[in-house]
Amino acid sequence: MNYLRKLAGQTAIYGFSSVIARILNFLLVPFYTRIFIDTAEYGIINELYAYVAFFIVILTYGMETAFFRFSSKSSDKGIVFSTALIALICTSFLFLVFILLFHPQLSRLIGYGDYKEFLLLLGFVLSIDAVTAIPFARLRLNNQSVKFALIKLFNISVNIFFNIFFLVLIPMLIEQGFENRFFYFIYKPDFLVGYVFVSNFLASLFTLLFFVKDFYRINYKFSWKLFLSMLLYGFPLLIAGLAGTVNEVLDRIMLRYRLPDGIDALEQIGIYGANIKIAVLMTLFIQMFRYASEPFFFTSENKKYNREMYAEILKYFTICGVIIFLVISLNIDLFKFIIGPEYREGIVIVPVVLLGNLMLGIYFNLSVWYKLKAMTYFGAIFATFGALITISINYYFIPSYGYVASAWGHLMSYTSMVLLAFFVGRHYYPVPYNIWLLVVYIFSGIALYMIASRLNIESEFYRVIINNFLILIFSAFVIFFERKNLYKIIKNTEVYK
């Protein structure tokens, strides 16, 4: 069987749902950047969701990947599921109690003493999302990609509905003189940013209802021995996840404290956060690939030619990533209209963010070896090293370069992790990657972008035509070098012969 076609098929299924979900979710970016004309308000959303990213890693503590690992090795998948689920229910409940008791103090600690309700709402969101992580993981393991997709789509649709309901519909009806006690009860004009978190909470709550039957039907058996083994396997992934989250979102927190006096940090965070969202196509590509490939890598561990297969997967992943980089970077004059005019001054960081995300996707491919060999502590080491680079670049360069330094911090951090994963992995789990060809593809894409940026074509119409012609040149270059393998994939013949 052609494994590339199988993985591509699974990626397409997850990809279709992810594309629709991301498109729906992405509509919130132009929505927010036009509702919140004050960029500082959008900065609040970006900063608080940065904290959310940290805590969701802590609350799941590597259990998703541990669930994949132990389910693929165990004859009793039910006990693995129930043990992981019970563990997350208990820890999420304890976390929620902690938030209920101490959210006023925690809000003051992070500089949001006047918005303690925001932290309370996000505490509920985090607890619910952590509990549903394992049911979602089981859907992926069982190849129930359609059900997985539909639930994810439902979650985002509910989130968008309530955002529109609270931020557009109710204010419009009140402005037109529509009198309704219920509206006045649930709507407060000075709580606008808070309705973003209310909408998220309601979406998570409705999503939880989809798994009520799963919670009811499972046999609640808990194995301490299994749990400790899963915890031991997942703990390095927790450290790696925290370090990875540092790489991903710490810059939004550090911007608030490292920007010079006289600069509104929340405004800068809002501009930075909005422009990062323009790189959504690359983020989407990585996400849908991860959904499909993680269980795929585990189930194909003992297949013939599995290492050659991993090398081919990375090559085509890189090609697709470079094409996405070129499509967005060379059409930035069009993509900039996604965000409101007040946010477009930060458009210069988008190509750098795209390259950083591409490096992250390559790292994900290269890191398969330490998960397969149960050497997850290497993931913690690599991610911690990357986090130190992120922290250093942001600490030393934000005062001079602002969010531009944060964008470059992403790129430098993920590039360092790629190099570490490759050179260490070559010793423990050698995979025949064609590194020089990958380097050629990546630098060819960068070179075409540099050429386009130096042309200085005044006419936007001709600039778009020429830039897209450069994308066609790169595509033709790839097709020429990959023509034999592409023919085999299309014909569904063995790639490795």
Other beta carbons within 10 angstroms of residue 437's beta carbon come to 14
Rounded CA-CA distance 261/280 in Å is 32
| Contact call for residues 257 and 402 (beta carbons, < 8 A) | no
Rounded CA-CA distance 147/169 in Å is 31
From residue 250, give the alpha-carbon distance in Å to each of 115, 238, 243, 257: 21, 16, 10, 11
Residue 442 has pLDDT above 90, yes or no: yes
Tokens of 365: 């491919």
| CA-wise closest residue to 256 among 36, 103, 48, 38 | 48
CA dihedral 95, 371, 250, 191 (to 10 degrees): -40
Q: What is the mean pLDDT of residues 465-469?
A: 91
pLDDT, position 24: 64
Tokens of 270: 């809002």
Rounded CA-CA distance 367/376 in Å is 9
From residue 76, give the alpha-carbon distance in Å to each of 67, 79, 146, 267, 340: 12, 6, 24, 52, 52
Helix axes 28-35, 3-26, angle to 10 degrees: 20
Rounded CA-CA distance 451/447 in Å is 6
pLDDT, position 1: 42
User: What are the boundaries of each domain within the chain?
Assistant: 3-491
- For 374-410, write each residue's pLDDT tens digit: 787 888 888 889 989 999 999 999 999 999 999 999 8
Residue 242's Cα: distance from chain center in Å?
A: 14
Q: What is the pTM of this model?
A: 0.73
Q: Which of 90-94, 146-150, 204-208 has the lowest mean pLDDT?
A: 146-150
pLDDT, position 129: 93
Tokens of 223: 């194995």
- For 309-361, write each residue's pLDDT tens digit: 888 889 989 999 999 999 999 998 888 888 888 888 899 999 999 999 999 99
Tokens of 158: 């509910």
Q: What is the 3-state secondary structure (H, E, C) of 391-424?
A: HHHHHHHHHHHCHHHHHHHHHHHHHHHHHHHHHH
Residue 492 has pLDDT above 60, yes or no: no
Residue 453 has pLDDT above 80, yes or no: yes
> Residue 2: pLDDT band by 50, 70, 90 thresholds?
low
| CA-wise closest residue to 285 among 363, 358, 383, 365 | 358
Residue with tokens 């976390």: 95
| Contact call for residues 75 and 144 (beta carbons, < 8 A) | no
Q: Is 278 exposed, middle or buried (0-12, 13-18, 19+ CB in 10 A)?
A: buried
- For 274-320, write each residue's pLDDT tens digit: 888 888 778 878 877 776 676 677 666 666 667 888 888 899 899 99
